[in-house]
Amino acid sequence: MAMQQTILEYVDQHDEQLSYLAKEIWNHPEIALEERFACKLLADELEAAGFTVERGIGNMPTAFVASWGSGAPIIGILGEYDALPGLSQQPSADRIPVQTGGPGHGCGHNLFGVACLGAALALKSIMETQQIAGTIRYYGCPAEETLVGKTFMAKAGIFDDLDAALAWHPGDTNTIWASSSLAMNSFKVNFHGVSSHAAADPHNGRSALDGAQLMDIGVNYLREHIIPEARIHSVITSGGQAPNVVPAYAQIWYFVRAPRRDQVAAIYARVLDIAKGAALMSGTTYDIDFVTGCYELLPNLTLSQLMLEKMQSVGNLSFTAEEQAFAKQLQETFTPGTLEHAFDLTQRQVRIELDRTMIATPLWEQILPHTETYMVMPGSTEVGDVSQITPTGQLTTCCWPLGTPGHSWQIVASSGSSIGAKGMLLAAKTLALTGLDLLTKPDVLAAAQAEFKHKSNGKPYISPVPDGTLPH
């Protein structure tokens, strides 16, 4: 108990510095694989604290690993720091960008990476003073928004020797993320044709755009014959430049998602057959640019229960009347019905009857239980790949108002305010306390590893990314 209190005091003593770092990253938003400012800021902080830092991991200049200690157990903490394009926003309840068309932290990753930094530093401090054996690692993971960072780090074997991994994500509730996620393939299909005058000699042309459109028609017919839980979505990123020129090049970008990796692989193979057929029909050729692929998240309930206990020991958040008022103003910009939908979704996730009057409170301070019922969230994360390699636990804390739409300017506004900072500090404390137990209680770590071995059936991790593919 004394060591836990020391960790909590460490984070409290450094809360201003951590909040400053989070705001600095918020002030310098950078999209996937371009996070030079955030990467350097975090890596330099760890290096100055005595961590050994290896930069440029997995062929990504903005990926790094910082280590302190020696020997087992080896506990990893996953940090993220990339922003999203087009979401630049001031900390205001009105839509006012800092830079028109610029990026913004519409997923709260300015908080994500810094909370993990705070946890790593707190653990290093207690390990040093109490002579606790083991190794703590901070993983600087870029490009989560494009599901690239951890997939390529995993392919490079960066997580292979971990005994356990910890992560979190900003959200609108304080609870444990014990659900699964959708596995995914992201790939672009490039069609190559022959240009010609669309009116004078169209017979001499072969339209790459026809190939892309025919492929999408085929994929639309495929949707009827795949499992209902699967998702296929696409955009045509290039379709020609003028109507009077038969396009010699077109590109269509797909995401294929499903609850399991093997389901994604099977659907992906059928989509590639459709590409082949579309090329034959249009008289074009095609090639595949595989961007990334990830696994579904493998929950570890042993770690989830441990994280919940630690979050409960830290205690509820406390927001001021001004913070609640600002959050209410943000909620007033939401689409009607958003709050009710968010409440119902949260209730299904925690599997308890919640007081419906809670909808009237924009910022939820209390800590909610987590469900041990297997659920699949309708999104993907490459934390899933880490969870297929080592026992992995995640939590979420309240950093924005209930019902805030994902990847929105409202998240940017809240993540750049004191609201986000308070949720970040709760996450840092919970991660650090969880890490401490994993370092000092072998039976707890052994239970998490036994659960992992049972759920993974002893299958080795095989990267979904083809050999020779580079991060992009």
Q: Which residues of 359-370 are buried (b: 16+ CB within 10 A; e: fewer)?
A: eeebbbeebbeb
Domain boundary among 243, 271, 293: 293
Indicate the SS3 state at residue 122.
helix
136 with 277, same domain: the answer is no
Q: Are residues 350 and 264 in the same domain?
A: no
Give the residue ranges of the chain where pLDDT is below 50.
none
User: Is there a single domain that holds both residue 151 and residue 194?
Assistant: no
Q: What is the pLDDT of residue 80?
A: 98
Long-range contact set of residues 91-98: C-beta below 8 Å, sequence gap at least 24 = 91/413, 91/414, 91/416, 91/417, 92/413, 93/326, 93/329, 93/330, 93/332, 93/333, 93/413, 95/333, 95/409, 97/409
Q: Do residues 65 and 137 lie in contact, with contact meaning Cβ atoms separated by under 8 Å? A: yes
Q: Are residues 156 and 20 in the same domain?
A: yes
Residue-level length of the chain: 472
The whole-angstrom separation of Cα 4 and Cα 280 is 65
* Residue pointed to by tokens 């490009």: 143
C-alpha 250/C-alpha 241 separation (Å) is 10
Q: Are 375 and 148 in contact (CB under 8 A)?
A: no
Please check whether residue 195 is in contact with residue 283, taking contact to mean a CB–CB distance below 8 angstroms: no
Query: CA torsion sign, 87 to 88 to 93 to 94?
Result: negative
Angle of helix 15-27 versus helix 109-130 axis, rounded to 10:
150
Q: Same structural domain for residues 374 and 273?
A: no
Evaluate whether residue 461 is within a structural domain: no
Asked, for residue 63, whether it belongs to a domain, the answer is yes
The CB density around residue 462, as the number of other CB atoms within 10 Å, is 9
- Structural domain range at position 161: 2-181+296-456
Distances (CA, A) of 284 to 189, 276, 400: 12, 10, 49
What are the Cα distances from residue 270, in Å, to 250, 266, 333, 379? 20, 7, 42, 22
DSSP category for residue 86: T
* Cα–Cα distance for residue pair 344/466, rounded to 1 Å: 40
Residue owning tokens 């709050």? 339
Identify whether residues 310 and 343 lie together within a single domain.
yes
| Distance separating alpha carbons of residues 107 and 123, to the nearest angstrom | 26
Residues 91 and 203 in one domain: no
Pairing between β-strand 183-192 and β-strand 285-294 as defined by DSSP bridges: antiparallel
Query: Which pLDDT score is estimated for 374?
Result: 67
How many Å apart are CA 274 and CA 271, to the nearest integer? 5
Same domain, 191 and 172: no
Closest of 420, 445, 415, 166 to residue 311, by C-alpha: 166
CATH number for 197: 3.30.70.360
Q: Do 402 and 366 belong together in one domain?
A: yes
- Find all residues with CB under 8 Å of 88, minimum gap 6, and list them: 29, 97, 98, 99, 100, 101, 102, 103, 104, 412
Q: Where are the beta strands (DSSP E) in 392-448?
A: 392-398
Q: Is 54 helix (H, G, I), strand (E, B) or coil?
A: strand
d(CA 317, CA 337) in angstroms, rounded, equals 26
Output the pTM of the full model.
Answer: 0.95
Let me know if residue 466 belongs to a domain.
no
Q: Is residue 449 domain-resident?
A: yes
Q: 133: domain CATH number? A: 3.40.630.10
Domain edge (last residue) among 236, 263, 293? 293
Flag whether 471 is in a domain: no
In a domain, 425, yes or no: yes
294 three-class SS: strand
Number of domains making up the chain: 2
In a domain, 272, yes or no: yes
464 occurs within a structural domain: no
Based on the domain organization, do 363 and 435 belong to the same domain? yes
**Are 214 and 135 in a shared domain?**
no
Q: Are residues 396 and 168 in contact, defined by beta-carbon separation less than 8 angstroms?
A: yes
Alpha carbon distance 94, 433 (integer Å): 38
For residue 364, which of 401, 411, 418, 328 has the smallest C-alpha distance?
401
User: What span, in angstroms and rounded, lies between the C-alpha atoms of 346 and 12?
Assistant: 29
**Sign of the dihedral defined by the CA atoms of residues 206, 208, 209, 213, in that order:** positive
Cβ contact 461:387 at 8 Å: no
Residue 267 and residue 405 in one domain: no
